[in-house]
């Protein structure tokens, strides 16, 4: 057993919680205390059959009498060093006040929470590419949502290289309606627009409020990833496509695909290559859609909604629990997620035809 093992409880076993539990159970530095369930449905048995202890709210324990439940969520939280809150958006704040703070336990919150207003869960919105070290010593941190995390992976390298040469980032986020497993959610035949989306403010929260980012957000009837259409305007003439692609060659969690025609094709490729949960855990720049015209770079990249935040949560966990140097934490996450290999396989699968 590794010295200084830490105990982690995953509160919520939906799209995010179930993935996290599955990946971090193989981490030799962490004991997964178990997972929290709130509804007595098939996912309880699913968690048990994968070897997880299931905990339920004390006041609901009777409704789980047909399942082999380990104990109450309240007791699981109290016996943990850190909780990953994977609750439906907006519930994390209530959990913080009613559970985590009273039991003096560290917590990571997901992107459906907020870092603004009276119900903010943290004063740090985490993006490993931008502010890894700022999580040292923090007890409550919010992981950015899938779109917010994906934008960081594109905007931060651009900003580092081109700085004040960039005048604006204008993005259209095309969001998926539901996740693959959310079969209870129907995908209606409509396109919805989102007034006052949180995504831009969230990105500016970690990249700086002066970041010239302007977003419009729509939701479309698909379960297959998000797509960002990002136009980057430069003061003078924009760099050439090759220079932009070079910038992302060695970026963690960014694959460059030449021949993908759509998001479902990428998901299918992930499935055919036996990636866990059919997730790529990354974003994919669609090189065949990249154009540089005058002062503007026009990019499109897709964002694996469920997968992208899972390795991020794991990196964040290491910052909060162990305060590891970034390279060490990153290498440890890589040993569980094999992102470099997945990137190589995807890039090969969708390579440029010569
Ligand atoms: N799905 C994505 O692609 C995605 C990507 C990035 C970030 N996020 C964020 O991650 C969070 C979780 O999203 P999700 O998609 O995983 O949701 P989800 O699939 O609906 O799962 C939510 C889980 O939370 C459980 N739950 C219910 N009440 C709870 C409570 N009071 N405390 C803790 N857990 C509770 C539910 O349990 P029962 O089923 O037993 O009722 C369910 O297992 C949200 O903040 C979301 O915005 C989601």
pLDDT, tens digit, 9 for 90 and up, residues 211-259: 999 999 999 999 999 999 999 999 999 999 999 999 999 999 999 999 9
Give the gyration radius of the chain's Cα atoms.
20
DSSP structural state of residue 144: P
Helical H segments across 212-299, by residue range? 241-248, 263-272
What is the share, in percent, of the chain residues with pLDDT greater than 90?
97
Does ligand 1 lie within 6 Å of residue 179's CB atom?
A: yes
Which among 9, 12, 54 is the best mutation to test ligand 1's pocket, defined by most ligand atoms within 8 Å of the CB? 12
Please name the fold of domain 146-307+339-349: Dihydrodipicolinate Reductase; domain 2 (3.30.360)
Decide: 108 in ligand 1 pocket, CB within 6 A. no
Rounded to an integer, the average pLDDT of 14-31 is 96
In this predicted structure, the answer to whether residue 118 has a pLDDT above a threshold of 60 is yes
Spatial CB neighbours of 306, under 8 Å, sequence gap ≥ 6: 15, 16, 19, 146, 179, 180, 277, 279
Q: What angle do CA 129, 337, 253 make, to 5 degrees?
A: 35
Q: Which residues contact 180 (CB under 8 A, 6 or more apart)?
A: 223, 267, 278, 306
Residues 271 and 257: their CA atoms lie apart, in Å, by 17
Closest of 59, 65, 52, 134 to residue 99, by C-alpha: 59
The atom number, within ligand 1, closest to the CA of 38 reads: 40
Give the distance (Å) from ligand 1 centre to CA of residue 91.
9
Other Cβ atoms within 10 Å of 335 Cβ, number: 11
Left, alpha or beta for 196 (phi > 0: left; psi -120 to 50: alpha)? left
Ligand 1 pocket test, candidate residues 9, 10, 14, most atoms within 8 A of CB? 14
Helix (H) or strand (E) holding 20: helix 15-24
- Name the pTM for this structure: 0.96
Tell me, using a 6 A CB cutoff, whether residue 311 lines ligand 1.
Answer: no
How confident is the model over 57-70, as pLDDT tens digits?
Answer: 999 999 999 999 99
Q: Where in the chain is CATH 3.30.360.10?
A: 146-307+339-349
What are the tokens at 245?
A: 């692609």
- The mean pLDDT value for 171-189 works out to 94
3-state secondary structure of 74: helix
Per-residue confidence (pLDDT) for residue 1, from 0 to 100: 57
Looking at the chain, which residues constitute the CATH 3.40.50.720 domain(s)? 6-144+309-337
Assign 3-class secondary structure to 49-73.
Answer: HCCCCEEECHHHHHHHCCCCCCEEH
Separation of alpha carbons 239 and 114, rounded Å: 36
Kindly state the average pLDDT of the residues 68-74.
97
Cα 160 to ligand 1 centroid, rounded to whole Å:
34
Euclidean distance between the first and the last CA atom of the chain, given in angstroms as a whole number: 51
CATH superfamily of 6-144+309-337: NAD(P)-binding Rossmann-like Domain (3.40.50.720)
What is the residue whose two structure tokens read 């997972």? 35
Q: Which two tokens stand for residue 326?
A: 């970034």
- Residues 95 and 182: their CA atoms lie apart, in Å, by 23
User: How far, in Å, is the centroid of ligand 1 from the Cα of 63?
Assistant: 20
Cβ–ligand 1 contact at 95 (below 6 Å): yes
Residue 334 — very low, low, confident or very high, per pLDDT cuts 50/70/90? very high
Distance 244 CA to ligand 1 centre (A): 36
Indicate if ligand 1 lies below 6 Å from the C-beta of 313: no
Q: Output the CA 212–ligand 1 centroid distance in Å.
A: 31
Average pLDDT of the chain? 96
pLDDT at 182: 87
Separation CA 342–CA 323 (nearest Å): 27
292 is catalytic: no
Q: Are 70 and 55 in contact (CB under 8 A)?
A: yes
Band of residue 123 on the pLDDT scale cut at 50, 70, 90? very high
Residues 113, 208, 172, 155, CA torsion sign: negative
- Residue in the block written with tokens 């950015």: 144
List 146, 230, 315, 339, catalytic entry: 146
């Amino acid at each position: 057993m590794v010295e200084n093992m830490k105990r982690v409880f995953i509160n919520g076993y939906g799209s995010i919680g179930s993935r996290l539990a599955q990946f971090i159970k193989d981490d030799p530095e962490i004991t997964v205390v178990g997972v929290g369930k709130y509804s007595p449905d098939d996912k309880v048995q699913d968690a048990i059959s994968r070897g997880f202890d299931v905990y339920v709210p004390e006041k609901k324990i009777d409704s789980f009498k047909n399942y082999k439940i380990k104990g109450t969520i309240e007791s699981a939280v109290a016996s943990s060093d850190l909780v990953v809150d994977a609750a439906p958006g907006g519930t994390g704040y209530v959990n913080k006040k009613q559970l985590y703070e009273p039991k003096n336990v560290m917590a990571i919150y997901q992107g459906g929470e907020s870092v603004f207003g009276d119900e903010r869960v943290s004063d740090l919105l985490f993006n490993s590419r931008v502010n890894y070290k700022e999580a040292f010593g923090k007890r409550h941190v919010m992981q950015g949502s899938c779109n917010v995390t994906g934008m960081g992976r594109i905007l931060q390298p651009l900003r580092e290289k081109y700085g004040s040469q960039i005048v604006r980032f204008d993005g259209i986020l095309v969001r998926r309606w539901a996740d693959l497993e959310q079969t209870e959610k129907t995908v209606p035949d409509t396109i919805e627009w989102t007034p006052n989306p949180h995504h831009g403010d969230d990105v500016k929260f970690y990249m700086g409020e002066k970041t010239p980012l302007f977003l419009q957000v729509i939701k479309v009837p698909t379960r297959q990833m998000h797509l960002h259409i990002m136009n980057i305007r430069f003061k003078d003439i924009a760099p050439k496509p090759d220079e932009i692609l070079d910038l992302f060659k060695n970026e963690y969690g960014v694959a460059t695909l030449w021949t993908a025609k759509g998001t479902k094709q990428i998901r299918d490729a992930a499935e055919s290559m036996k990636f866990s949960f059919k997730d790529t855990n990354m974003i994919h720049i669609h090189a065949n859609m990249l154009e540089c015209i005058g002062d503007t770079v026009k990019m499109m990249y897709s964002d694996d909604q469920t997968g992208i935040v899972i390795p991020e949560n794991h990196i964040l966990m290491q910052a909060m629990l162990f305060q590891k140097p970034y390279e060490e934490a990153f290498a440890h996450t890589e040993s569980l997620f094999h992102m470099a290999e997945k990137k190589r396989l995807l890039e090969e699968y969708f390579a440029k035809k010569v």
